[in-house]
């Protein structure tokens, strides 16, 4: 079998395209496959599909394909351009790649699977492409998923931010909490990033949204208040973020007190950071004796931990009425503790208590969001049927 016939079958090249030549560079570990096409053809306009005569050819381009053994494989071709009566001169679509990509569809499919399992940097290294190229492949996968998603029909959504590295920064992600899928993703963590989700949905879709779980970031609050129909009833400030703030407060109290104790040669709080971050029922058994010792002490860190553990009960009261009574009691205790970081959290909770207690109307959390990282978001969107 000729090498041109072999690569025609390997690449799935069909008429009017054909493999003109296959060039092997053993030193560079590179294979280049040149494609040409039959003459005298009419080509479909990429905008409207109308068959038009050939206008000219774009400059030769190359696309990275799946490797042939250890050899990087590239497709080369000059893509025809047509002059459409309605749309002017346009470059036709090629069957092996998207218009904006320097990679074949098969290579991108492999790359997405790799990137689903690794970091962007790790996946780029395995694929032998740059970080930027890997990021662009992820973005195109997301765009394909969104285009194939169909009309959005959700009742409960969650919004969260994800750090995806220094170069890309942060992403704002919106989740369908019932369907456990990502439905929107934008760069940044701003009011504009979240607002772009509401801009893309129709009024009848907005009416279907009953609740939105989110953290207490001011840009997200501003976007939600501006876009939701009844934000004071629909916004649910997620308990994960409340408890995250409380854990930080406990750690601040512990660090300050540990510093004071160490000046006196007292190591009572040494190696307790991780112990105090655990919920009591999830504490590994090997730490249980040490926690019991801390609970019996009169240390500030122990009191802060007790306040943190008590606050978790706010979401287990059974009814909104009981939750309000619980919060009032906890807030008084927190303020009386005179532990500055804890008092700061109590004040934050008080400012947002309506949204926090909206949990009892909708029973939603951002657990789906917290279990999904930036790579997972790409995976969910690219897998959308």
Identify the CATH number of the domain in which residue 218 sits: 3.30.420
Q: What pLDDT shows up at residue 383?
A: 44
End residue of a domain, out of 96, 129, 144? 96
> pTM, whole model, 2 decimals?
0.67
End residue of a domain, out of 96, 121, 154? 96
- Residue 324 Cα distances to 125, 211, 230, 316, angstroms: 53, 20, 21, 12
Q: Are residues 243 and 282 in the same domain?
A: yes
Question: Quick check: 136 pLDDT over 60?
Answer: yes
pLDDT tens per residue, range 333-374: 999 999 999 999 999 999 999 999 999 999 999 876 665 544
Residue 115: burial class (beta carbons within 10 Å; 0-12, 13-18, 19+): buried
How far is it between the farthest Cα atoms of the chain? 91
The kind and range of the H/E element at 183 are: strand 181-187
Q: Are residues 75 and 111 in the same domain?
A: no
Question: Quick check: 375 pLDDT over 70?
Answer: no
Question: Quick check: 207 pLDDT over 50?
Answer: yes
| Count of the separate structural domains present in the chain | 3
Q: Are residues 126 and 233 in the same domain?
A: yes
Q: Are residues 330 and 249 in the same domain?
A: yes
Q: Are residues 135 and 183 in the same domain?
A: yes
- Residue 277 Cα distances to 73, 239, 287, angstroms: 51, 15, 12
Q: What pLDDT shows up at residue 51?
A: 94
- Quick one: how many helices (H) and strands (E) in the chain? 18, 13
Question: Quick check: 150 pLDDT over 70?
Answer: no
Q: Are residues 107 and 229 in the same domain?
A: yes
Buried b (16+ CB within 10 A) or exposed e, 276-293: bbeeeeebeeebeeebee
Mean confidence (pLDDT) of the chain: 90
- Range from 172-176, 180-184, 263-267 carrying the lowest mean pLDDT: 180-184
Q: Are residues 29 and 121 in the same domain?
A: no
Q: What pLDDT shows up at residue 379?
A: 47
Q: Rounded distance, CA 338 to CA 344, Å? A: 10
Q: What pLDDT shows up at residue 115?
A: 86
pLDDT tens per residue, range 42-68: 999 999 999 999 999 999 999 999 999
The kind and range of the H/E element at 358 are: none
Question: Quick check: 72 pLDDT over 70?
Answer: yes
Q: Are residues 334 and 243 in the same domain?
A: yes
Q: Are residues 212 and 157 in the same domain?
A: yes
End residue of a domain, out of 60, 78, 96? 96
Question: What's the domain range around 292?
Answer: 239-364
| Average confidence (pLDDT) over 329-333 | 98
Q: What pLDDT shows up at residue 373?
A: 47
- Range from 134-143, 264-273, 372-381 carrying the lowest mean pLDDT: 372-381
User: Is there a contact between 377 and 145 (Cβ–Cβ < 8 Å)?
Assistant: no
**pLDDT band (50, 70, 90) for residue 385:** very low
Q: Are residues 210 and 289 in the same domain?
A: no
Q: Are residues 260 and 224 in the same domain?
A: no
Q: Are residues 264 and 330 in the same domain?
A: yes
Q: What are phi and psi of 225, to 5 degrees?
A: -65, -30
> Collapsing DSSP states into helix, strand and coil, what is residue 71?
strand
User: Is there a contact between 57 and 63 (Cβ–Cβ < 8 Å)?
Assistant: no
């Amino acid at each position: 079998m000729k090498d041109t016939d072999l690569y025609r079958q390997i690449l799935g090249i069909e008429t009017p395209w054909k493999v003109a030549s296959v060039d092997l560079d053993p030193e560079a570990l590179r294979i280049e496959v040149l494609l040409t096409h039959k003459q005298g053809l009419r080509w479909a306009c990429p905008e409207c599909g109308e068959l038009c005569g050939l206008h000219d050819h774009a400059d030769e381009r190359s696309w990275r394909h799946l490797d042939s053994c250890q050899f990087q494989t590239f497709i080369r071709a000059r893509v025809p351009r047509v002059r459409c009566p309605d749309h002017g001169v346009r470059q036709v679509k090629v069957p092996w790649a998207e218009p904006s990509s320097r990679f074949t569809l098969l290579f991108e499919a492999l790359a997405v699977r790799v990137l689903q399992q690794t970091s962007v940097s790790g996946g780029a290294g395995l694929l032998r492409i740059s970080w930027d190229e890997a990021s662009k492949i992820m973005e195109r996968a997301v765009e394909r998923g969104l285009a194939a998603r169909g009309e959005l029909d959700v009742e409960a959504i969650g919004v969260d931010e994800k750090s995806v590295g220094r170069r890309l920064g942060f992403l704002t992600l919106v989740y369908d909490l019932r369907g456990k899928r990502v439905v929107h993703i934008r760069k940044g963590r701003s009011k504009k990033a979240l607002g772009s989700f509401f801009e893309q949905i129709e009024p009848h879709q907005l009416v279907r949204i009953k609740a939105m779980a989110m953290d207490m970031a001011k840009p997200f609050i501003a976007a939600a208040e501006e876009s939701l129909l009844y934000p004071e009833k629909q916004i649910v400030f997620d308990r994960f973020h409340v408890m995250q703030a409380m854990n930080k407060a406990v750690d601040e109290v512990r660090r300050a007190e540990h510093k004071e104790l160490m000046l006196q040669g007292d190591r009572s709080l040494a190696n307790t950071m991780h112990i105090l971050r655990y919920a009591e029922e999830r504490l590994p058994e090997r730490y249980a004796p040490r926690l019991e010792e801390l609970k019996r002490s009169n240390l500030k860190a122990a009191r802060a931990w007790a306040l943190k553990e008590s606050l978790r009960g706010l979401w287990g009261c059974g009814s909104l009425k009981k939750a309000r009574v619980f919060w009032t009691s906890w807030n008084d205790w927190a303020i009386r503790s005179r532990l500055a970081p804890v008092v700061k959290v109590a004040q934050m909770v008080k400012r947002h208590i309506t949204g926090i207690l909206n949990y009892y109307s909708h029973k939603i959390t951002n657990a789906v969001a917290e279990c999904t990282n930036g790579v997972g978001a790409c995976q969910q969107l690219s897998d959308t049927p």
